[in-house]
Amino acid sequence: SQKIEQNSEALNIQEGKTATLTCNYTNYSPAYLQWYRQDPGRGPVFLLLIRENEKEKRKERLKVTFDTTLKQSLFHITASQPADSATYLCALPTRALNNAGNMLTFGGGTRLMVKP
Amino acid sequence: NAGVTQTPKFQVLKTGQSMTLQCAQDMNHNSMYWYRQDPGMGLRLIYYSASEGTTDKGEVPNGYNVSRLNKREFSLRLESAAPSQTSVYFCASSDRPFGTEAFFGQGTRLTVV
């Protein structure tokens, strides 16, 4: 099965700086990779999806890269704000026997703290 | 537009009791899922339903059963709760299989004493 590694230690950065979070995976190469944001006491919220043939994807202040050779995705938040403080999860499709359904395997998440 | 709605939000059970967690989505999605989230373990898939009328086991199905009642609703049942099932449970849904985002409910915090 797919194993996903995210830094379990919190990332503390100063407001205005760029936050970079890492997602490493083992085993098979996924067709795509997703990033979610989770606030305390809430369910994860989808942010970005990047496919295996895309090197980079952007959405406002967010940027995701996908390196299938390194088996790694980087998630960047530029000009970070205290409101960006949350836990960020990466997720990859789970290989199922019948290949049915959009099942996702999630990493443990990295908590980001942006200080004013 | 409610998205994915879970009930209840909080529940305390005694060991051996049973209960059903309810989930409904109003986005006409085909696939629905139940995850549990524990500190240090991340989200783990319990059961999923790729489409109405089908259900399959995920990573941690033992001690649970599910029912896909119709396209909107997917329930999770604990027949005989155990302290190891203390967790936060999330229901999610998605449209097409593969490559689409999942929408999550607010979660149910379950404590088994």
Please state which of the ranges B9-13, B35-39, B96-100 shows the lowest mean pLDDT.
Answer: B96-100
Q: Which two tokens stand for residue B46?
A: 């319990």
Instruction: Determine the residue type at B91.
Output: C
**Closest alpha carbon to B6 in B113, B105, B78:** B105
Confidence of residue A98 (pLDDT cuts 50, 70, 90): very low
Confidence of residue B98 (pLDDT cuts 50, 70, 90): low
Position A59 scores a pLDDT of: 95
Q: How far is A78 from chain B (nearest CA, A)?
A: 23
Is B95 or B78 the better-scoring residue by pLDDT?
Answer: B78
Of chain B, the percentage scoring pLDDT greater than 70 comes to: 96
Residue A37 has pLDDT above 80, yes or no: yes
Give me the residues paired with residue A94 across strands. Answer: none
Position A104 scores a pLDDT of: 85
pLDDT digits (tens, 9 = 90+) for A67-93: 989 999 999 999 999 999 999 999 988
Does the beta carbon of A70 lie under 8 angstroms from any beta carbon of chain B? no
Do B90 and A43 lie within an 8 Å CB cutoff? Answer: yes
Position A1 scores a pLDDT of: 66
Determine which of B29, B34, B43 to mutate to test the interface with A (most A C-beta atoms within 10 Å): B43
Nearest to A104 among B4, B40, B102 (CB): B102
Of chain A, the percentage scoring pLDDT greater than 70 comes to: 92
Tell me phi and psi for residue A62, to 5 degrees.
-100, 140
- Summarize the confidence of residues B66-79 as an average pLDDT: 96
Asked whether A103 and B52 are in contact (CB, 8 A), the reply is no
Does the beta carbon of B50 lie under 8 angstroms from any beta carbon of chain A? yes
Max avg pLDDT among A19-28, A38-47, B91-100: A38-47
CA A87/CA A40 separation, integer angstroms? 8
Does the beta carbon of B79 lie under 8 angstroms from any beta carbon of chain A? no
Asked whether A5 and A23 are in contact (CB, 8 A), the reply is yes
Confidence of residue A62 (pLDDT cuts 50, 70, 90): very high
Does the beta carbon of B3 lie under 8 angstroms from any beta carbon of chain A? no
Torsion sign over Cα B41, B21, B2, A42: negative
The Cβ of residue B111 has, within 10 Å, a number of other Cβ atoms equal to 13
Confidence of residue A101 (pLDDT cuts 50, 70, 90): low
CA B33/CA B56 separation, integer angstroms? 10
- Summarize the confidence of residues B64-87 as an average pLDDT: 97
Angle, alpha carbons B105-B89-B11 (nearest 5°)? 105
Is A100 or B11 the better-scoring residue by pLDDT?
Answer: B11
Does the beta carbon of A103 lie under 8 angstroms from any beta carbon of chain B? yes
Do B99 and A98 lie within an 8 Å CB cutoff? Answer: no
Q: How many CB pairs under 8 A join A and B?
A: 82
